[in-house]
Amino acid sequence: MDAVSSPVTVTRHGAVAVIGIDHPPVNALSTGVRQGLLDAVRVLDGDPQVAALVISGGAGRFIAGADIREMSLPPGPPLLPDVVAAIDGCAKPVVAALDGAALGGGCEIALACDLRLAGPKALVGLTETRLGLIPGAGGTQRLPRLTGVAEAIALVCEGRVLKARDALALGLVDAVEGDVLAAAIARAPATAKRRLSALPVPPGDKDAEAAAIARARKGAKGMPAIEEAIRVIRAAEAGDFAAGLAAERAAFLALRESAEAKALRHLFFAEREAGKVPGLEGVAARPVASVAVIGAGTMGAGIAVALADAGLAVTLVERDDEAAVAGLGRVRAVYERQVKSGRISAAQGAERLARVTPTADWGRLASVDLVIEAAFEDLAVKTDIFRRLDAIARPGAVLATNTSYLDLDAIAAATARPQDVVGLHFFAPANIMKLLEVVKAARTAPDVLATALALGKKMGKQAIVAGNCDGFIGNRIYALYRRHAEVLVEDGASPQDVDAALEAYGFAMGLFAVSDMSGLDIAYAMRKRRAATRDPGERYVDIADRLVEAGRLGRKTGAGWYAYDAAGNRAPDPLVTQVIEQARAAKGITPRSFTAEQIQRRLLAVMASEGAKVLAEGIALRASDIDLAFVNGYGFPRIKGGPMWAADAMGLKAVLREMESAHAAAGAGSEPAPLLVELATHGGTFAGWHQGGQQE
């Protein structure tokens, strides 16, 4: 082991040898870390002057898991199971000093040790299922020997991360210590060998095991890793550790090459790329300690909750005192529901609510660092608000709008400081949905864009930078996706056919059920706004318009594309069937049937083609940003990787053929994207394309 180049070093403390890992930022299990650990354990095991070993990741760290960058490469030596086996087989006691995250492979290394001590901020968990995998270095076999099968299934299948005290309660760590490294060095010489591999699985409650399996399968969302995790964890009950390891490893290697795991790895990297915005290198965000939200309706209240949850002081502004108090009531109701469900304590709810101050006094806006306008989606309303803000907000305050479709440049033009204006498009419910579109206007200053991204991160949102166009990234693509779903209905599919196909693909809800939930009047207003500029060559389906004009606005009126009972359960409605049949008759359409696969392929092609236009126009920086937007904001199944990734998997030649059929069916506005044509012709992919036409 080369002490100069290796991320793993050894220091002596009397008869205790501390194996230290220093591989910033999180001590991921790279080849160098694995090799250094293996070499150190082997050398120290044979050193007669060493009585015990301690594995430490340094202050605030342990090992946060695999090096994901190596996941797409052929496995190289030493393999993690070899490292874990060396620790397990060491004749001397080995103590794990967990002062930070011990996740995935890091947790497996800790489980191979004879004693696990945790610092107060340690985190412990086997999180591989989040990447479509299962633990592959003994985690599925050692964990049930500590916790029992039912708890192990729950921990692995949920990818749960435990805080130190919770890990102690389940027996995953043996003690929580203030100075964990000092405690490990002190306790190591007297630690007895306790190999989990040699222990039997404790007898468990079969009802609890069945319940854990049922919960895991319910939350599986089509992920093969969940069923495999259940199978190999249950195999531990047979008592043959070596056979269990072999079953685990075979399953891990098969899953590693699965489409689902590749899609989830793609999203993992996409999340890290999303924050890399050209022109923001070295740009500092403006400080934000206080925020005002203008408009305390459902969206404004949700934004206020998201900000308060992030520890910010929030001024909630409405037109009059009565509306302001009602807005605070909506915020209070959110926290009351969270307290009732056990998500937060009553004290936490009270603390967060206290950060929100309702007011009708616009003068209060003069002192805040950032203002978010969340008023009605009407350009005249929003430009009027920004004119008022121009006279009130302090110099340097960031002025943001929550518009989901409107022209950000037109809104910014209402002020004398367009450089301070940015779009912050939240998705309902704003305190829950992870996506935040950060929209850059023509004159948005770099530090304003950096401030918006920093705020998104502080709120725990997945922030995606979008350029300015009608609908930005998400709603622009979604509008065409919805339009083609309606074309399919007019051509012969039923709304429930389309929804069933999408749910079979992995969406939690189909498009028409989602429309009913959000309200059909929202899209109706958008269509009416666009009517004057609509291309006469575009096929226009007016079924949704007829439903709105009949008073069917969705769940809020008890009827939309579906009928709803008092409990909110949906069912097909003969009245909707009648409206659809009348629309077909008016155009002389003879309905035909569509299979679920035909519906899925058509709608995926439409999303991908419009996404290609968004890419080529520079509205999205990269294809993976579009994938993140749809996974985090529109319910696209994570295991499919997003629409652009899924289109690459389908094959762009097949996507182009499907898009040509979609164009023939829907007319103007549905032409295949030139970028799609180019990539399909030359064998390229969306994942490999970058601005300027480069292909990796």
Q: Beta 52-56 vs 16-21: how paired, if at all?
A: parallel
pLDDT at residue 693, as a whole number: 54
Domain termination site, one of 203, 234, 257: 257
Tell me the pLDDT tens digit for each residue of 530-561: 888 999 999 999 999 999 999 999 999 999 99
C-alpha span between 391 and 489 (Å, rounded): 50
> Does pLDDT of 73 surpass 80?
no
C-alpha span between 304 and 7 (Å, rounded): 44
The better pLDDT of the pair 162, 529 is held by 162
User: Which candidate in 108, 151, 437, 490 is catalytic?
Assistant: 108
Q: Beta 694-695 vs 101-103: how paired, if at all?
A: unpaired
Together in a domain, 310 and 455: yes
Name the DSSP class of 685.
-
The answer to whether residue 282 is domain-embedded is no
Tell me the pLDDT tens digit for each residue of 305-314: 999 999 999 9
In this structure, which amino acid lies at residue 683?
Answer: G
Token pair, residue 533, equals: 């500029």
The answer to whether residue 362 is domain-embedded is yes
Together in a domain, 117 and 51: yes
Range of the domain at 236: 8-257
pLDDT at residue 74, as a whole number: 73
Together in a domain, 58 and 40: yes
Domain termination site, one of 448, 468, 488: 468
C-alpha span between 641 and 260 (Å, rounded): 8
Tell me the pLDDT tens digit for each residue of 643-667: 999 999 999 999 999 999 999 999 9
The answer to whether residue 297 is domain-embedded is yes
3-state secondary structure 94-129: EEEEECCEEECHHHHHHHHCCEEEECCCCEEECCHH
Residue whose pair of structure tokens reads 């594309």 in the numeric block: 561
Return the H-helix or E-strand segment holding 491. Answer: helix 474-491
pLDDT at residue 694, as a whole number: 55
Together in a domain, 146 and 238: yes
Token pair, residue 431, equals: 């305190």
| Through-space distance between the first and last CA atoms of the chain, rounded to whole angstroms | 37
Together in a domain, 330 and 434: yes
The answer to whether residue 267 is domain-embedded is no
Together in a domain, 304 and 376: yes
Active site residue 128: yes
User: Which candidate in 70, 128, 351, 660 is catalytic?
Assistant: 128
Tell me the pLDDT tens digit for each residue of 343-376: 999 999 999 999 999 999 999 999 999 999 999 8
Domain termination site, one of 435, 468, 501: 468
Across residues 447-458, what is the average pLDDT?
97
Across residues 490-517, what is the average pLDDT?
96
C-alpha span between 684 and 679 (Å, rounded): 4
Together in a domain, 95 and 237: yes
Across residues 134-150, what is the average pLDDT?
96
Give the chain's domain count. 3
- What is the CATH number for 600? 1.10.1040.50
CA angle 92, 180, 162 (to 5 degrees): 100
Tell me the pLDDT tens digit for each residue of 609-646: 999 999 999 999 999 999 999 999 999 999 999 999 99
The answer to whether residue 279 is domain-embedded is no
Got the DSSP string for 254-320? HHHTSHHHHHHHHHHHHHHHTT--TT-TTPPPPP-SEEEEE--SHHHHHHHHHHHHTT-EEEEE-SS
The better pLDDT of the pair 147, 204 is held by 147
